[in-house]
Structure 1
Amino acid sequence: MDDLARLAALNGVATTYQPAEDVTVRVPESTVAAVLRRLGADTDTPESVRAHLAAAEHEAAQRLLPRVLVWWAGSRAPAELGALPPGTRIRLDLEDGGVTEAAAGSPGAAAGLQEAFGGPPGSRGGPSGQPPLGVHRMRAEAPDGRTATATLIVAPDRAPAAPGRTHGLLVQLYSLLSERSWGMGDLGDLAELARWAGRVHGAGFIQVNPLHAAVPGTPTDPSPYRPSSRRFPDPVHLRIEDVPECAAGPNRAALTELADRGGELRREVLEKGALIDRDAVWALKRAALELLYAVPRTPEREAAYGRFRAEQGAELDRHAAWCAAHAGEDPQTRADFHRWLVWLTDTQLVAAQRAAKEAGMAVGIVHDLAVGVHPEGSDASGSEHYAEGVSVGAPPDAFNARGQDWGLPPWRPDRLAAGGYEPFRALLRGVFRYAGALRIDHVMGLFRLWWIPEGAPPAEGAYVSYDGEAMLALLVLEAHRAGALVIGEDLGTVQPGVRQALARRGVLGTSVLWFERDWGGDGEPLEAERWRSDCLATATTHDLPPTAAKLAGAHVELRDRLGLLTRPLERERAEDAADTARWLDVLEDLGLDTKDEEAAVRALYGFLLRTPARLVGVWLPDAVGDRRPQNLPGTWDQYPNWRLPVADAEGRPLTLEALAASPRANSLLSAVRDGG
């Protein structure tokens, strides 16, 4: 192994990757060198590589402890503690402010710590001989004078488990307009959908798209997966009439006029074929919120706002200042307005989860955590935790020969570890405030990400490893504290062992019907009883055609019209039709009715109910026969991604009220409720 490869290994940069089980591809040396530079290494000359390598190897050899240690509840102490020299003194500063000291004897510090935390389960420590759950700070001093500090994560053995089998809905919130919406679905609509689905159809959850704060623009990027901030939500989702100051405000005429204009936006989408225009919606809502911000808050409301500001601290201040500056305002005088918007949105998100639980939902609202953020958004701007001059994507594979560049800056694993993963912890705590469950987009990113140096094509990237155990431990810890489930989106190429590691810690996977085949055998559709149980099972997703479109082959025709096919149309049609026909044969062999499109959709969900999957998700557009995908990967302005309302089989947009009254929707959801 040469010096560059050794330096790459020390920094978790892979020099090869496997797009298929029997194929290994070498990463170009120029890519390895560029990625290492983004991690702070000097790779300009062989001499600088050699010098940096020598320094890194010396630091690694001298270090008493790694920067982060994980101690799972009920497990033995981390092996690194047992390897400390006898006589090493350990000081553990607990998360709750307590302090414990211990000495390493034979076989090392592990015994000393276990003795220090001895006692029955339920005492100050966790299980006998273990520190309490939390993120603690450890300092070690060896007899030879060497010292080290480390973050100790003590996490539950597993994330909270799903409460038996339950079903729910998957929906892009912006697409669900009610008769009260101002041009796009809002948090009031989410609460109302939860009440109807829970009370009428016994649904246990509703999964929504990421509701993260977007980067304002002209126009604003409508994709919810490239936000300004994952830490804070977007106030465009607010239901204005549900803000308490709305009822007490003196500017009734102005608010009424804005509401009327919001109603016109709604009618343009529902009745005139217009696309959802979040910029137009936000212009009206922002004007209304400016009026409401001037309304004096009650003492109770003011106290609640003060508590929120104190809890969210400097990160909220930084985000609010960025929002003000990005709007061309003075952060000194206008940041509080943007802090207040975050608080309002948080309160309505909490209210939506409360409405879901009150409607009898076992889980409630499943929020979606995007894989990254916009490089110029509030999370990344001025943050040392994001790598510069590099973006995240995916290598070439069987589905995309050129690879993908998502334009998202990655977190630097070295700086995350050095800071005890505080940005990740704060992100999780923020989202879990109002989530019954959290879906992690591209959950494999907890373990590694494909880094693409600036100016390089997606194929010339490299995998960079993260401390997957540490990030998984923090995810399980925060989920435990929130009492929330965790669902990992683990579709596509997955590093060996990752699915097993996630399942071991109670993180559910994602299984999509069309992809579930016996890939290790004959390639035929996987029998229902052979599906994994620890997953969310569904027929489709926001990036795939709705089920009615798949059954009719409409998605192939759409991609042909847009010039997206890479093979002859007739070949695409034939292969897609054969795939669909094979699944219909499976359904018919099981005695499920597939006589027409509506029956076939119902049969596919009936099949999902025959699997052991703990969660079964119904894509809401499937309930009404909508054939239009919400997102068509590989397109930008050729297709109205993220801007379509839910529509019926003829493409007529539907309100939430019309959907709730739809015989087709009620038939499907009743069948799912009753077990197919």
Structure 2
Amino acid sequence: MAGDLDQLAATHGIVRTYRALDGSISRAPDEALQAILRILGAHGNAGAESTAGEWPTLPRAAEGAVCYLPDFLDRGRAWGITCQLYSLRSGRNCGIGDFEDLARLGEMAARMGVDLLGVNPLHALFLAAPERRSPFSPSIRECLNPLYIAVDQVDGFDPPEDRDEAALADLEGELVNYEAVTRYKLAILRRIFSRMQEAHRDRLDAFIERAGEPLRLYALFEAISLEMTRLGRGAGWHSWPEEFQDPHSDRVAAFARQNGHEVRFLLWLQWIADEQLGKAARRLRDAGMRIGLYLDLAVGTAPDGAATWGDRPLTVVGAEIGAPPDMFNPTGQKWGLAPVSPSEIAARGFQPIRRSYEAILRHAGALRIDHAMSLYRLFWIPAGMKAGEGAYVLYPMPQMLRVLAEVSQKAKAIIIGEDLGVVPEGFREQMKKANLLGYRIFYFEQDENGFIGPEHWPRCALACIGSHDTSTLAGWWTGSDIDCRERIGLFDTETADQERARRRDEKRQVIETLHLLGAHQAGEAFDEAVAAGVHRLVARAPSLLFATQMEDLLGLIDQPNMPGTVDEHPNWCRRLPVAIDELESCPILRAVIGAISEERSRAP
């Protein structure tokens, strides 16, 4: 019976066994396989070929599926800065970073020799539920978050009427107050729309026609979501009355007719956001950046958002994606994201993923794909099961890579794949063949002897010290990240003490390495010498790209996101303590930029 189940699972692209992060072999429970088979309907192919056995052989990338790389990277290297857009502080924004802040930061960075400026995912979230603030749990990936609109840059903005200094003062704090920011900015934008809708009519109509039905459905979803929230039904469609859960129902059509002004306002927001992001991208290029905007694509969407509401067949019902147990998350992870159907993607000629890539690359010179292994497989967790009780489902990797490469070449955009966690054997080799850059984080590049010197890192990669999901350099150096995890219950006392002992050994090795490189001032305390020394060390990697976080440029302790938490940590809302126009006077920033520039100076 077990053999029959294994064969049936393999036939439908479900991986029964897989190699875990520590090298051990894990086996999905029968219940998970049976549940996923029911979800798939236990007929047809899941979109990828597989054979019975421990695990399938990784398919070869399609011939000629090669992503774009600019000529200047043939022999050279480049570097950039990454930031959380919401965190940017300025004297003109409304309590949250916006597209004008992004452009100004980019122009400043370009003067320092920076070639790319990365940001968190800019996907549309839920205007009716501002507390759902994770940029990696979007409502839809093809639309933009209107909260990033710079209201003072919108045609028709009237400072005497639209700028309330008292209200703005209430928005100034260490954390983004998403509820207050949403109320304040939407009120201003509604007034501008009322004043300018006729003047903007032709350009808006052209934008709507180009974007097509997906944009209209998104705007309709948001309009219903705002109304349902007002009525106490919730922002996500799972809680709506049945007649509103079908976007093609008579009741939804009647709502669209009765609320045409509101739907058009939401379409207008998308047009304004797209215009401002495009202008920011051009300003970065004009300032001298050779790559420009480096955008981020989330691995999935919220199960109750606009994407799943507007295109039900594309989304799998009854499972969510996540990660199996590993040394960092011993119970596994549930990401609260809906899987996309591999068979439906294939049946539509891979147009859904092409549309996602094209939408995000309209204004980007580089793209980071969150959890790049999704090109080959995703860990599905059936509803009602624990995070560790899922199984991998295969996706048609050769065809998906081909689409990605075609869009990359057309847009002349570099593609970076976040290949962290459980990486299938042979996957990184396929990435390299496709010019899909890997992702190397300093903290994780270790073997049984300790840190692997960055000089041994691969060339086909983006190198960095940390990411939004890891401790900052200051947090790592001081051990405050361990203290935080213990304080909020992610570590018990014994685990925290073990981590502190391991950190002391790691830190000792780094200090010794920095001294060998000539950074003799680097010591136990975190300071400019340490910050500059570690950045210089990692920037020396042969990797094509290197990126540093704004948090590390300012020597900040707290990280943007603490994986495994929801409300225990202020995720996705910390604001930078320094305004954009004051950044260049920060001592740590100047020291770090100087060190990186010496290692990665631009070729003439």
Aligned residue number for residue 250 of structure 2: none
Question: In angstroms, what is the RMSD of aligned CA positions?
Answer: 2.3
Once the two structures are superposed, the pairs formed by residues 169-318 of structure 1 within 5 Å of their partners are 169-199=81-111, 201-246=112-157, 253-257=160-164, 260-261=165-166, 263-267=168-172, 269=173, 273=174, 275-296=175-196, 301-318=200-217
The one-character-per-residue Cα deviations of 1:57-81 (angstroms, maximum 9, x if unpaired) are xxx9xxxxxxx998634xxxxxxxx
Aligned residue number for residue 326 of structure 1: 225
Aligned residue number for residue 340 of structure 1: 268
The one-character-per-residue Cα deviations of 1:481-515 (angstroms, maximum 9, x if unpaired) are 11111111111110111111111111111111111
The one-character-per-residue Cα deviations of 1:315-342 (angstroms, maximum 9, x if unpaired) are 1111111011111184331211111111
Aligned residue number for residue 498 of structure 2: 571
Alignment partners' CA distance in 2, 1:362 and 1:527: 28
Q: CA deviation at 1:295?
A: 2.2
CA contact (8 A) 1:323 1:338 kept: yes
**Structure 1's 308 and 193: CA in aligned 2 closer, same or farther, altered over 3 A?**
same
Q: CA deviation at 1:669?
A: 1.2
Residue 431 in 1 paired to residue 360 in 2?
A: yes
The one-character-per-residue Cα deviations of 1:32-72 (angstroms, maximum 9, x if unpaired) are 1110111122xxxxxxxxxx589x9xxx9xxxxxxx99863
Identify which range, 550-559 or 209-218, moves more after superposition: 209-218
The one-character-per-residue Cα deviations of 1:200-259 (angstroms, maximum 9, x if unpaired) are x11011110001111245552121110101110110000001112226xxxx543133xx
Identify which range, 346-355 or 3-12, moves more after superposition: 3-12
Residue 515 in 1 paired to residue 444 in 2?
A: yes
> In structure 1, what residue type is equivalent to 2:558?
R
Once the two structures are superposed, the pairs formed by residues 13-412 of structure 1 within 5 Å of their partners are 13-20=14-21, 22-41=23-42, 72-73=63-64, 155=65, 157-161=66-70, 163-164=72-73, 165-199=77-111, 201-246=112-157, 253-257=160-164, 260-261=165-166, 263-267=168-172, 269=173, 273=174, 275-296=175-196, 301-328=200-227, 330-332=255-257, 333=260, 334-382=262-310, 383-412=312-341
Once the two structures are superposed, the pairs formed by residues 647-658 of structure 1 within 5 Å of their partners are 653-658=577-582
Unaligned stretches of 5+ in structure 1? 42-51, 61-67, 74-154, 647-652
Say which of 455, 461, 472 aligns to 1:529. Answer: 455
Match of 2:451, SS state, is coil
Alignment partners' CA distance in 1, 2:180 and 2:597: 38
> In structure 2, what residue type is equivalent to 1:669?
I
Match of 1:221, SS state, is coil
Alignment partners' CA distance in 1, 2:439 and 2:378: 19
**Structure 1's 379 and 218: CA in aligned 2 closer, same or farther, altered over 3 A?**
closer
The one-character-per-residue Cα deviations of 1:507-530 (angstroms, maximum 9, x if unpaired) are 11111111112x3xx433212321
**Structure 1's 591 and 34: CA in aligned 2 closer, same or farther, altered over 3 A?**
same
Q: CA deviation at 1:306?
A: 2.4
Q: CA deviation at 1:425?
A: 1.0
The one-character-per-residue Cα deviations of 1:556-596 (angstroms, maximum 9, x if unpaired) are 12222222214514322111111111122122122234145
**Structure 1's 327 and 285: CA in aligned 2 closer, same or farther, altered over 3 A?**
same
Alignment partners' CA distance in 2, 1:472 and 1:606: 34
Alignment partners' CA distance in 1, 2:450 and 2:412: 38
Q: CA deviation at 1:405?
A: 0.7
CA contact (8 A) 2:99 2:277 kept: yes
> In structure 2, what residue type is equivalent to 1:220?
E
Q: CA deviation at 1:664?
A: 2.5
Alignment partners' CA distance in 2, 1:228 and 1:53: 29
**Structure 1's 243 and 560: CA in aligned 2 closer, same or farther, altered over 3 A?**
same
Among all aligned residue pairs of Structure 1 and Structure 2, give the percentage whose two residues are the same amino acid: 33
Match of 1:605, SS state, is helix
Aligned residue number for residue 584 of structure 2: 660
> In structure 2, what residue type is equivalent to 1:190?
L
**Structure 1's 209 and 580: CA in aligned 2 closer, same or farther, altered over 3 A?**
same
Aligned residue number for residue 499 of structure 1: 428
Aligned residue number for residue 555 of structure 1: 481
Aligned length: 551
> In structure 1, what residue type is equivalent to 2:597?
R
Alignment partners' CA distance in 2, 1:26 and 1:495: 15
Residue 540 in 1 paired to residue 466 in 2?
A: yes
CA contact (8 A) 2:553 2:588 kept: yes
Identify which range, 333-342 or 232-241, moves more after superposition: 333-342
Alignment partners' CA distance in 1, 2:125 and 2:8: 38
Match of 1:337, SS state, is helix
CA contact (8 A) 1:374 1:407 kept: yes
The alignment's TM-score, normalised by the length of structure 2, stands at: 0.87
Q: CA deviation at 1:352?
A: 1.0
Q: CA deviation at 1:663?
A: 2.9
Alignment partners' CA distance in 2, 1:69 and 1:17: 19
Alignment partners' CA distance in 1, 2:61 and 2:483: 51
Aligned residue number for residue 88 of structure 1: none
Q: CA deviation at 1:598?
A: 1.6
Q: CA deviation at 1:534?
A: 1.2
The one-character-per-residue Cα deviations of 1:331-384 (angstroms, maximum 9, x if unpaired) are 331211111111110111101111110110011110010111111100111421
**Structure 1's 53 and 372: CA in aligned 2 closer, same or farther, altered over 3 A?**
closer
Match of 1:591, SS state, is coil
CA contact (8 A) 1:69 1:470 kept: no
> In structure 2, what residue type is equivalent to 1:243?
V
Compare relative contact order (CA 8 Å, sep 6+) and give the higher one, 1 or 2: 2
Match of 2:591, SS state, is helix
The one-character-per-residue Cα deviations of 1:84-134 (angstroms, maximum 9, x if unpaired) are xxxxxxxxxxxxxxxxxxxxxxxxxxxxxxxxxxxxxxxxxxxxxxxxxxx
**Structure 1's 69 and 346: CA in aligned 2 closer, same or farther, altered over 3 A?**
farther
The alignment's TM-score, normalised by the length of structure 1, stands at: 0.78
Alignment partners' CA distance in 2, 1:167 and 1:22: 33
Alignment partners' CA distance in 2, 1:296 and 1:170: 35
**Structure 1's 434 and 241: CA in aligned 2 closer, same or farther, altered over 3 A?**
same
CA contact (8 A) 1:245 1:297 kept: no
The one-character-per-residue Cα deviations of 1:408-431 (angstroms, maximum 9, x if unpaired) are 110010111001112111111110
